[in-house]
Amino acid sequence: MASKKIFIDGSVFYAFVDRSDPNHPQAVKVLEYLSLQGVYLFTSFQAIHDAYSAINNQLGTTIGTDFLNAISDSSIEIIYPQKADLIASIRLLKFNPNKQIALKEVMNVTLMQKRGITQILTFSYWHNLLGSNSYFSRA
């Protein structure tokens, strides 16, 4: 494994919680493996919000609340953006030739870069911005 720091996207959290999700077995397996390997896990408030919204809407409020409690009890470090991160994200959006990149993705990669995180664990398409790459994804 190239890095001992990995960012977890909301798509992985959702798959981990929803046992009917086709990515559930893979999400469980990789998160257990990473925790046993002592990898430092990071996520953002936005990733938690996205996962919680999907869990709450698809699986119910009780499971959504259980997810939030599990996240707050975990060792996953939650990264919160500052105004400088927003400015850097806007600048990256403005100067990136691919205008189809979402602000959420740009913000997450900005937060990752600030903390020296080069890998993201995601089931969503990842643009490999700023030299980051996905640990696994469904393209």
CATH architecture of 5-136: 3-Layer(aba) Sandwich (3.40)
List Cα–Cα distances, 93 to 40, 98, 131, in angstroms: 28, 8, 15
Q: Would you say the pTM of this structure is higher than 0.85?
A: no
85-112 pLDDT per residue, tens? 999 888 888 877 666 777 888 888 889 8
26-73 pLDDT per residue, tens? 999 999 998 888 899 999 999 999 999 999 999 999 999 999 999 999
Nearest in space to 107 (alpha carbons), one of 80, 69, 125: 80
